[in-house]
Chains A and B, each alone.
Chain A
Amino acid sequence: MSSRDRILGRVRRALADVADDDTPYEQAVGRAYLREHGERTAGQTVDLLAENLADYRALVHRCADEELPELLARLLAERGSRTVLVPPGLPPHWLAAAAATRVPDRATSTARDLDRVDSVLTGCAVAVAETGTLVLDGSPDQGRRRITLVPDHHICVVRVPGQVVPSVPGALGRLDPERPLTWISGPSATSDIELDRVEGVHGPRTLEVVLVSGG
């Protein structure tokens, strides 16, 4: 007998005492919980996102669409970044004013190659206001999962209010489970040493989020 058959057989025997139950899944679960917490306008939802991002030590910037190239150029310059990783579908005008050399996201790049890049710039799929979370789904403006992991500085551009949802249930409804997903809430952190929160263990130690409106 295969282990698969053995385990499934054990499961069926283990449940022998349970009365037959054909309650459909949706009915059995019931979802009395809220879709979002509190009532907010779109603007207030964006404010909450900014507040919660900052609470988990992300650096938050806000600008209008036409100011974005200047702002990104300044953020890279302040950091002293000479190279910036760029996903294949990043809108070209975002980096129009930046001096940093663009490094394309290539399948052939090794992890060591990525480790030598100063910064990475991406868009995002959706952002969750209540938790201060950015979700990346590997779309062309976000690139492979590893590019936002290995470099030490990540700048993520969020279009507001269009890409912002209030809550976790709202985010899952917008995402495609077949894509590889990365949920990011603040920079990498650990609380393993006496529960003191320290930012930056293995992922980027600095996370900057640009909330861009009117795009």
Chain B
Amino acid sequence: MSGGTFVGMPAFPEAAREAVGDTTLRANLRHATRTIRDKRAKAVAELADWAELREAGKRVKDHTLRHLDHYLVRLEESVVRAGGTVHWAADAEEANRVVASLVKATGETEVVKVKSMATQEIGLNEALAAEGIRAYETDLAELIVQLGDDRPSHILVPAIHRNRGEIRDIFEREMGSWGRPAPEGLTDSPGELAEAARRHLREKFLRAKVGISGANFMVAETGTMVVVESEGNGRMCLTLPETLISVVGVEKVVPAWRDLEIFLQTLPRSSTAERMNPYTSMWTGTTDEDGPSAFHLVLLDNGRTDTLADEVGRQALRCIRCSACLNVCPVYERAGGHAYGSVYPGPIGAILSPQLRGTRSEIDASLPYASSLCGACYEVCPVAIDIPEVLVHLRERVVQGGAVTRHGNRVTLKPAKGHAAERAAMRAAGLAFARPGVLRLGQRLASRTRRLHPRTLPGPGRAWSAARELPKVPAEPFRDWWQRTRGGTTEGNGK
């Protein structure tokens, strides 16, 4: 996963076509996304002021982003004052180097990790492995992913694509080579599987000297870090080790302690559809004799400031990683998280990944198209990110090129090669719409030859039709039908 891209990842349409054909995957996803979607709607309906909370969350994040330099400096001061150390990392490589050297300085070769998308994004586990340091994922779903030598497919429930039978098989096969093996005769009941994970991981927690985390929020005013979780593995990683290293994207800062009153209401209800998640940990630097004696915060850029430079796209940085947009997305429900080729799947991934990484690779250039623009993602977003607006904006960028910021520098992007067909189609459409006679002729021709139409397009159109059914051409063009019937008023109904 170097540089955050899954190596050898095909473009979204190919990856999605494969996923759509996998009936187990589709059934797992359908069950999961629908269950959580219904529960979320109920949890949100309990708060009469949801719209106001959503607006306030949006404004806090927008205000922070437009003064991001100020709040980052303030955060740094607060964390240092509270006994922590702050490191700044411009890219994945630098962040990995910083973390590896901090771990090495402790003399340890093992670390326990609480689920952190930022560390997945930078490929930290692989970077640590290259330095002889073994990182144990401790979130149950992350454990399933790690033991299965798999990749996460959902922001909140990364192993959503696995059913209980598959999980049982992975535990039985792999636990032994990572530590305590699965018990004899393990069944596929969720209770037994969770118990096996508890025993397997507890021995690691109890001996761990270094913990690695992300954070959901960082409060500039106080230097407080917030981790929201359910299982207690977060609390284990955050409180039992002697050294704690948190790798957090710069966009996770909020100005004031009071801002948490918004997000602690909207995040749990949007993500797990609970009134509150079982455990939330908040810490400010270090505390004598309670928790780690050393705390390091690594502030990660890795494309975030480039995203900030885009007037339309910067709203993606408001994201609080709740995953509500995944669960309502008809494209995600069918294609699954892996097809997005990034740790950030679904609608938010389709706008975040191409901005964080640029659109040079085939997968990143295809992501803005991984949507039907139905708008459901915008409706559920607790910080009101207009994902469809950003998708359209990014499509334009991919097709037409233009000025973007990469690694802090303004560069001019060339139109993407793979999208020649779309440009040609747009030019042709422009030509035809400008000449009504041509359009009419084309439509009539299409109607009269419709029995002969292929199910896939030839030439450059093949890529488009390979993952879609071609729409049927109607028996009669709309213009002809209108001329003949005046909009249905003279046909068939006796008028």
Contact present for A111 and B205 (CB under 8 Å): yes
Contact present for A37 and B94 (CB under 8 Å): no
Inside 8 A of A115's CB, which chain B residues have their CB?
Answer: 202, 206
Task: Report if A37-B49 is in contact (Cβ < 8 Å); known contacts: A3-B90, A10-B408, A189-B231.
Answer: yes
CB within 8 Å of A: which B156-182 residues: 157, 159-160, 163-164, 167
CA distance A149 to B279 in the complex (A): 10
CB within 8 Å of A: which B208-246 residues: 219, 222, 224, 230-233, 235-236, 239-240
Interface size on B, residues (CB 8 A): 98
Contact present for B309 and A13 (CB under 8 Å): yes
CA distance A201 to B73 in the complex (A): 38
Most chain A CB within 10 A, of B190, B191, B250, B308, is at: B190
Q: Which 3 residue pairs of A and B lie closest in terms of their CB atoms, listed nearest first?
A: A203-B232, A202-B232, A14-B309
- Chain A interface residue number, banded: 35 or more
CA distance A154 to B279 in the complex (A): 14
- B272 CB–A CB distance under 8 Å: yes
CA distance A115 to B219 in the complex (A): 33
Inside 8 A of A56's CB, which chain B residues have their CB?
Answer: 274-275, 278
Contact present for A194 and B164 (CB under 8 Å): yes
A20-37, CB under 8 A of B: which get 1 and which 0?
010101001111111001
Task: Report if A185-B275 is in contact (Cβ < 8 Å); known contacts: A32-B55, A34-B52, A202-B231.
Answer: yes
Task: Report if A177-B275 is in contact (Cβ < 8 Å); known contacts: A33-B49, A201-B140, A202-B198.
Answer: no
Contacts from B to A (Cβ < 8 Å): 28, 31-32, 35-36, 46-49, 52-53, 55-56, 59-60, 63, 66-69, 72-73, 82, 88-90, 94, 138-141, 144, 157, 159-160, 163-164, 167, 190-191, 193-194, 197-198, 201-202, 205-207, 219, 222, 224, 230-233, 235-236, 239-240, 250, 255-262, 264-265, 268, 272, 274-284, 287, 289-291, 299, 301, 305-306, 308-309, 311, 314, 405, 408
- A138 CB–B CB distance under 8 Å: yes
Nearest chain B CB to A86 CB, angstrom units: 16
Task: Report if A37-B47 is in contact (Cβ < 8 Å); known contacts: A185-B275, A201-B233.
Answer: yes
CA distance A37 to B45 in the complex (A): 12
Nearest chain A CB to B193 CB, angstrom units: 6
Inside 8 A of A107's CB, which chain B residues have their CB?
Answer: 289
Inside 8 A of B282's CB, which chain A residues have their CB?
Answer: 177, 180-183
Nearest residue, chain A, Cβ from B264: A168
CA distance A46 to B250 in the complex (A): 39
Inside 8 A of B260's CB, which chain A residues have their CB?
Answer: 172
CA distance A138 to B262 in the complex (A): 24
Inside 8 A of A194's CB, which chain B residues have their CB?
Answer: 28, 31-32, 163-164, 190
Nearest chain A CB to B97 CB, angstrom units: 11
- A93 CB–B CB distance under 8 Å: no
Inside 8 A of B311's CB, which chain A residues have their CB?
Answer: 17
- A188 CB–B CB distance under 8 Å: yes
Tell which of B52, B73, B240 touches A32, judged by Cβ atoms closer than 8 Å.
B52
Nearest residue, chain A, Cβ from B195: A200
Task: Report if A191-B164 is in contact (Cβ < 8 Å); known contacts: A8-B72, A14-B308.
Answer: no
Nearest chain B CB to A104 CB, angstrom units: 13
Task: Report if A11-B68 is in contact (Cβ < 8 Å); known contacts: A37-B48, A195-B32, A201-B194.
Answer: yes
CA distance A52 to B428 in the complex (A): 61
Contact present for B82 and A168 (CB under 8 Å): no
CB within 8 Å of B: which A172-215 residues: 172-173, 177-196, 198, 200-203
Contact present for B278 and A185 (CB under 8 Å): yes
Inside 8 A of B191's CB, which chain A residues have their CB?
Answer: 198
Task: Report if A29-B232 is in contact (Cβ < 8 Å); known contacts: A7-B305, A115-B206.
Answer: no
Nearest chain B CB to A109 CB, angstrom units: 11
Task: Report if A138-B235 is in contact (Cβ < 8 Å); known contacts: A14-B309, A14-B405.
Answer: no
Nearest chain A CB to B237 CB, angstrom units: 10
Contact present for B308 and A188 (CB under 8 Å): no
Contact present for A146 and B405 (CB under 8 Å): no
Contact present for A195 and B157 (CB under 8 Å): yes
Contacts from A to B (Cβ < 8 Å): 2-4, 6-15, 17-18, 21, 23, 25, 28-34, 37, 52, 56, 107, 110-112, 115, 128, 130-133, 138, 144-146, 149, 168-169, 172-173, 177-196, 198, 200-203
Task: Report if A132-B193 is in contact (Cβ < 8 Å); known contacts: A3-B89, A169-B261, A191-B157.
Answer: no
Nearest chain B CB to A106 CB, angstrom units: 9
CA distance A202 to B219 in the complex (A): 27
Most chain B CB within 10 A, of A28, A29, A178, is at: A29
Inside 8 A of B90's CB, which chain A residues have their CB?
Answer: 3, 6-7
Inside 8 A of B193's CB, which chain A residues have their CB?
Answer: 193
Residue contacts A-B, CB under 8 angstroms, 8 given: A7-B299, A11-B250, A11-B308, A149-B235, A178-B222, A182-B235, A195-B32, A202-B198
Most chain B CB within 10 A, of A21, A186, A189, A190, is at: A190
Nearest residue, chain B, Cβ from A25: B255
Inside 8 A of B258's CB, which chain A residues have their CB?
Answer: 169, 172-173
Inside 8 A of A169's CB, which chain B residues have their CB?
Answer: 258, 261
Inside 8 A of A7's CB, which chain B residues have their CB?
Answer: 72, 88, 90, 250, 299, 301, 305
CA distance A30 to B159 in the complex (A): 38
Contact present for A203 and B231 (CB under 8 Å): yes
Inside 8 A of B72's CB, which chain A residues have their CB?
Answer: 7-8, 11
Contact present for A15 and B66 (CB under 8 Å): yes
Contact present for B159 and A192 (CB under 8 Å): yes
Inside 8 A of A8's CB, which chain B residues have their CB?
Answer: 69, 72-73
Tell which of A3, A21, A30 touches B56, judged by Cβ atoms closer than 8 Å.
A30
Inside 8 A of B283's CB, which chain A residues have their CB?
Answer: 180-181
Nearest residue, chain B, Cβ from A31: B56
CA distance A89 to B268 in the complex (A): 33
**Besides the known contacts A13-B309, A30-B55, A195-B35, 13 further A-B residue pairs in the complex with CB atoms under 8 A apart:** A56-B275, A115-B206, A149-B239, A177-B257, A177-B284, A180-B283, A181-B281, A181-B283, A189-B278, A194-B164, A196-B190, A201-B140, A201-B231
Contact present for B284 and A178 (CB under 8 Å): yes
Nearest residue, chain B, Cβ from A207: B278
Contact present for B276 and A177 (CB under 8 Å): no
Task: Report if A177-B240 is in contact (Cβ < 8 Å); known contacts: A132-B275, A193-B140, A194-B190.
Answer: no
